[in-house]
Amino acid sequence: MISGGDGLSRGDAAAERIQKILSAHGIASRRDAEKMILEGRVTVNGLTARLGQSAQSGRDDIAVDGTSLSPVKEKVYIMLNKPRGYITTRSDERGRKTVMELVEGSGAKVYPVGRLDMYSEGLLLMTNDGQFANSVAHPSNNHAKTYELRVRGDAAGALELLRRPMEIDSRIVQAKSVSLVETTADGGDFRVTVGEGRNRQIRKMCALCGLRVLSLRRVSIGALEIGALEPGHWRYLTEEEIKSLNT
- Range list of H helices, 46-146: 130-137
Task: Specify the 3-state DSSP secondary structure of 103.
Answer: helix
Q: Would you call 117 a catalytic residue per the annotation?
A: yes
Task: Specify the 3-state DSSP secondary structure of 236.
Answer: strand
Which residues touch 105 (CB under 8 Å, ≥6 apart)?
Answer: none
Task: Specify the 3-state DSSP secondary structure of 204.
Answer: helix
Q: Which of 6, 12, 32, 117 is catalytic?
A: 117
130: phi > 0 → left, psi -120 to 50 → alpha, else beta; which? alpha
**Strands in 111-211 per DSSP E:** 111-113, 121-127, 145-152, 166-168, 171-173, 177-183, 187-194
Distance CA 246, CA 20 (A): 17
DSSP label at residue 3: B
Q: Annotated active-site positions, please?
A: 117
